[in-house]
Amino acid sequence: MAELKVEISDELEKELNESPEFDWPEFIAKSIELKSFELELERSNKLKLLLLKSLTSKSKLSKDEAEKFADELGNKIKEDRLGELKNKGLM
């Protein structure tokens, strides 16, 4: 597993130390993972648009059929990623 070093101000360190029962490293790791998921969803939406354009330009599918296919594919990607996060206890 990779290690990430974060430098914080002395003032912030004092504030964090006031709540020693809170698992700050776990919170930070989960925050990074959730942000990664958000970025993946953004890329997924861009991929969905690209796929839609590709399908409508080279296929006999109607625009509505291509949009439906792209939506279903995007939803499947989101569901799979959400399942991964739930299995890791992040959601």
pLDDT of residue 77: 78
pLDDT of 72 > 90? The answer is: no
Give the count of domains, the chain. Answer: 1
> Stretch 34-62: mean pLDDT, rounded?
75
**Domain of 63?**
34-91
Residue 23 counted as domain residue = no
> Stretch 33-55: mean pLDDT, rounded?
78
Residue 19 counted as domain residue = no
Q: What is the pTM of this model?
A: 0.50
Residue 69 counted as domain residue = yes
Residue 87 counted as domain residue = yes
> Stretch 14-31: mean pLDDT, rounded?
90
| Distance in angstroms (rounded) separating the CA atoms of residues 69 and 29 | 34
> Stretch 61-67: mean pLDDT, rounded?
73
Place of tokens 């399942």: 83
Residue 56 counted as domain residue = yes
